[in-house]
Amino acid sequence: MWCKVSGRKHKRWEGDAVLVTRGRTATLKDMEGKDIGKGSGYKVSELASLCEGEALMIGGKQVEEEGPCKPRHDPLAPGAFVMPRPSTNHQWAYNKAGLPLVDVVVDPYLTANLRPHQRDGLLFLYECVMGMRATCRYGAILADEMSLGKTLQSVALTWTLLKQGPYGGKPVAKRVLEVAPGSLVQNWGAEFKKWLGRERISVYTVNQDHRVELFAASPLHSVLVISYEMLLRSLDVVQKLEFGLVICDEGYRLKNSSIKTSSALSGLSCTCRVILTGTPVQNDLQEFYAIIEFVNPGILGSSAAYRKVYEEPILRSRQPTCTEEERVLGEERAAELSRLTGLFILRRTQEIINRYLPPRLDWTVFCSPSPLQRELYQALLSHRVIRACLQGSTQTQTHTHLACITALKKLCNLPGLLYSTVQERSDGGSAEGSLYEGLRGVFPESYSSGGFSTADSGKLLVLSDLLTTIRHLSPNDRVVVVSNYTQTLDLLQNLCVHLGYTYCRLDGHTPTIQRQRLVDNFNSPHSAHFLFLLSSKARGVWLNLIGASHLVLYDIDWNPANDIQAMARVWRDGQKKTVHIYRLLTAGTIEERIFQRQVSKQGLSGTVVDLGKGAEHTSFSSNELRDLFSLTDTPCLTHDLLHCSCSMDGSAPEEEEDEEPASDRPCQLGRQGDRDGAGQKHLSMSELMQWRHFSGGTHTFRDAYLDHARNHISFAFQSTISHTTQ
């Protein structure tokens, strides 16, 4: 270990190094093999006899041969983060040699960056992998939501175990294996360098040019970062290596215990296993069993026993026809399962990190449809294909329903999207093609698929005015625009070119190797890009676009979780400015109906997972379709359904005395601000009453950016999330 010259008893070590001696000369090299100090004139016997615990001065640096039986860092220093000492039973089981107990102290270099919840997470992980929470069990699942720092907690755990241990100070692990999706391998390498620096640790990231064999042959590298795909290709080599800890990022990939990846990882001899996942896994009990079995094999018994003891009683108790006895038994088994797995599963929500973020203003904006949109919408609703859907024709298949829904959603975004499809599929050769028959005549004769006018779409008018105002009032601010559809991004890209805005774009076609570079360039204070066009399908916890302080969600998704994730891209750790989120909906159309289902949790978003990918769907009832396939001529049907008597001028709502406190009610899209624990949970209709309500056109929105577009807005809901920085 080395540090700058200091007279302190407990040194603050800068990092590890390798000492190379030749005769009377000594050279100090960092973990990348670079020279960081040289000295000469030493006694040959002095260098030859250097042993554990002894110090040496080399090139202005103090070097000490790392030895056991003493803490690596001072446990009595102010703010020292000391791990708990093992219990007597733990010592009896794992310290057969009777080595002295040594305090494990988290490196102060890391401690300075750990927030309270991250300290708790690191403590939890340490106790799990050391077998302190469950007897003879060394696995853990860190299921924190995005932005809570799962990576930092993992880096801190890795570094602590590589350098320290409670028995004689011997490290718990000599090597650590980090497995991640291919797109995140380089990010993991960058995170280790970010939090520990180059001089402390040498991380080996596997790719086409850096093979596992080189890692196996190198004494310098202690951490191997590899993708799931490359792990399978290099399994023979990896299995021969000894790892003291395995961490699996995006652990949802291991939900099926029969897949090759799960089998390969389960076959490794390492027992200390950690899964990182931001996706709740408790909803599918078989998937839940699979990841539990990976981190702590056998703790829930065999698959058959688990199914009989837990899964079947719990599922029966959730059926409407269950008996009282079945309900009670199911609740008991669910509580028992939760208690047992709660020993090694930690789940925290976004609410923890919100208090450290700047204020966020959420707007749900209802845009007036353009005359062309309204005319086309009416033409589609009166079309024989949609009428057949509404009449419940036995010949009408589910995919036809979805084709009708897709057509209406395209029209809400921009008539040009519908026009392109009309040109392609107006042959009438199929039910889907027949839907577009006759629509060509509704478009103006001069209409061209190669161009567009912002006046064609209510949402595009609002977006255009919004961008113009942001550019004028806050020229240093940047904007992220998100859409579900690549075709929509194409047209938004044309808008950028037309208006002269600089932009970058990330969607499913963007090569993996370019993604982080795009994000980093956009987030740079020196970025020349005004806009970031983002596909909502390009998911990943690393897409933190804090270089922008405005985000426009151009279209709505059936799954509210996808919208929440998209809207959070700019409201992340590191954001310094007040964030403005604008969610655009075309008033009175299918988009408003989808929004209502998200808010009232009526289940359509649960049955339709992802229309764009053609996934499995249940059939729609006639009543559901009749509601979806309608056009309402009202500023905001959602506000009408609230039976709200407000003045619609954005006045603060008055909470009714008999209504439950807003902080206790579930919320999906966001939370009314200035309340403890404000976050992003399920929003109910009663919660929406607590938002500010604005009618468009006449009233000011009290938002300098949105006011410029108010002539194209029929209504808006607004909520603020604000916390005192701690």
pLDDT at residue 639 in the model:
87
Of 132, 140, 138, the C-alpha closest to 87 is: 132
pLDDT in tens, 566-618: 888 899 888 999 999 999 999 999 999 888 887 764 333 232 222 233 333 33
- The share of the chain scoring above pLDDT 70, in percent, equals 84
- d(CA 303, CA 310) in angstroms, rounded, equals 10
Q: Which neighbouring-strand residues pair with 4?
A: 61
Contacts of residue 238, Cβ cutoff 8 Å, sequence gap at least 6: 177, 212, 224, 226, 231, 268
Of 1-15, 195-209, 371-385, give the lowest mean pLDDT range.
1-15
Per residue in 495-512, pLDDT (tens digit) is: 999 999 999 999 888 887
Q: Tokens for 8, please give them.
A: 């302190």
Q: Is the pTM of this model over 0.85?
A: no
Per-residue confidence (pLDDT) for residue 88, from 0 to 100: 93
Distance CA(199)–CA(524), nearest Å, equals: 25
Beta bridge partners of 27: 20, 38
CA distance 554 to 30: 50
Q: Is the pLDDT of residue 545 over 80?
A: yes
Sorted by where each begins, the domain ranges of the chain are 2-64, 107-297, 360-365+453-721, 366-442
- Higher pLDDT residue, 178 or 719? 178
Residue 725 has pLDDT above 60, yes or no: no
- pLDDT tier, 619 (very low <50, low <70, confident <90, very high otherwise): very low
360-365+453-721 topology per CATH: Rossmann fold (3.40.50)
User: How buried is residue 426: exposed, middle or buried, by Cβ count under 10 Å (0-12/13-18/19+)?
Assistant: middle
Buried b (16+ CB within 10 A) or exposed e, 610-636: ebeeeeebeebeeebbebbbebeeebb
pLDDT of residue 245 exceeding 90, the answer is yes
pLDDT band at 452 (very low <50, low <70, confident <90, very high): low
Mean pLDDT over all residues of the chain? 82
Quick one: which H or E segment has residue 638? helix 637-642
Return the higher-pLDDT residue of 258 and 717.
717
β-strands 25-29, 18-22: how paired?
A: antiparallel
Mean pLDDT highest for which of 41-50, 336-345, 610-619, 647-656?
336-345
Q: Which residue has the tokens 């190669």?
A: 450
Q: Which comes out higher in pLDDT, residue 551 or 724? A: 551
Assign residue 648 a region (left: φ > 0; alpha: ψ between -120 and 50; beta: otherwise): left
Give me the residue label for tokens 């036995």. 394
DSSP string, 544-562: --TT-SEEEE-S--SSHHH
**How many residues in total does the chain contain?**
726
CA distances from 164 to 16, 152, 174, 293 (A): 13, 18, 10, 28
Both tokens assigned to 493 = 């890209």
Q: How far apart are CA 383 and CA 594, in angstroms?
A: 22
Percent of the chain whose pLDDT exceeds 90: 42
Alpha helices (runs of H) in 474-589, residue ranges in sequence order: 486-499, 512-523, 560-567
**CA–CA separation, 378 vs 388, rounded Å?**
16
CB 28 within 8 A of CB 37: yes
Contacts 24+ apart (CB under 8 A), 516-521: 516/186, 516/187, 516/190, 516/542, 519/543, 519/544, 519/545
Q: Which two tokens stand for residue 242?
A: 């000894």
Q: What is the CATH number of domain 107-297?
A: 3.40.50.10810
What is the distance between the alpha carbons of residues 446 and 452, in angstroms, rounded to a whole number? 11
Does the pLDDT at position 676 exceed 50?
Answer: no
| Three-state SS annotation for 84-96 | CCCCHHHHHHHCC
User: Which pairing describes strands 713-721 and 360-367: parallel, antiparallel, or unpaired?
Assistant: antiparallel
The pLDDT, as a whole number, for residue 605 is 28
DSSP letter assigned to residue 15: B
